[in-house]
Amino acid sequence: MLTMAIPIKSKEEIAGVKKACKKTASVMKRLSRKIKPGVTTESLNSAAEELIAELHCKPAFKGYMGYPKSICTSINNEVVHGIPAEGRLLSEGDILSLDIGVVYKSFYGDMAATFAVGEITAEAETLIRTAREALYNGISSALNGNTLGDISSAIQRYVEDRGYSIVRKFVGHGIGRELHEEPEIPNFGSPSIGPYLENGMVFALEPMVNDGDYRVNILEDGWTAVTEDNSLSAHFEHTILIWGSKPQVLTEF
């Protein structure tokens, strides 16, 4: 397979991606306040569409490879790409992963986070915290002069050392003028291998962490990924900029 070089963003491109990411984070923050028992995932999708339009953005996911909605809403054993639906209600004790992408002036921002719906179990809390910390552990390795494998292995080690598993079927990605650019960024692998990281690379890192086995199935809707053993799953994603010894998190809120 021919692999393309990893794009290094110009000053203008970095400024553009930063703006798109700020908007993405703002949508996430405002949408997350609406999460509570009794709310449907369809209503979250509609609210997201309004927020995205208000910020003069377009949803990045709608129509992407035929994806029918503007955000992904994945509940409990759903790993990623859950499709918002009118009949799908959030219940007390659920965990909900929101994945949001926006386009602003031809630049993309992409992020995800997992939230508690009302009171959740201590086990679910720990899973969510581990997935968030796994992402930040990966970000800490996203340094000029490190390799792609350093990010992958940092995420995998963090997750597996704590008795959880890391999903292999989906990966992080470069991002910029496209939602998905080079490189693919697996959340597992060996340190010191793969291409070197350089200042100006922009990546979406997105570990998916399962309480049980790492394997997933895709439902008949063609999108929703669920854990094969029905265990809970959490997902966190940030768009980041490689910048010397301090990566910048562009989708922080």
Smallest separation, CB 164 to Co ion (Å): 20
For position 132 contacting ligand MF3 by CB under 6 A, the verdict is: no
d(CA 40, CA 31): 13
Segment interacting with ligand MF3 (CB under 6 A) among 32-40, 41-49, 57-65, 207-215:
57-65
Choice between 115 and 229, CB closer to Co ion: 115
- The terminus-to-terminus CA distance of the chain in angstroms comes to 38
Per CB under 6 A, contacts with ligand MF3 among 159-178 are 173
Is residue 49 packed enough to be buried (19+ CB in 10 Å), middle (13-18) or exposed (0-12)?
middle
For position 204 contacting Co ion by CB under 5 A, the verdict is: yes
Q: Site map for ligand MF3, 201-230, x if CB under 6 A? A: ---x-x------------------------
The single residue listed with the structure tokens 């609406």 is 34
Among 110, 150, 181, 211, binds Co ion (CB under 5 A): 110
- Report whether 173 contacts 180 (CB < 8 A): yes
Segment interacting with ligand MF3 (CB under 6 A) among 11-19, 59-67, 195-203, 209-217:
59-67
d(CA 71, CA 247): 26
Angle at 53 between CA 19 and CA 235, to 5 degrees: 65
Choice between 25 and 204, CB closer to Co ion: 204
Segment interacting with ligand MF3 (CB under 6 A) among 28-36, 51-59, 64-72, 213-221:
64-72
Choice between 79 and 128, CB closer to ligand MF3: 79
Instruction: Report CA-CA distances (Å) from 215 to 57, 156, 166.
Output: 35, 15, 9
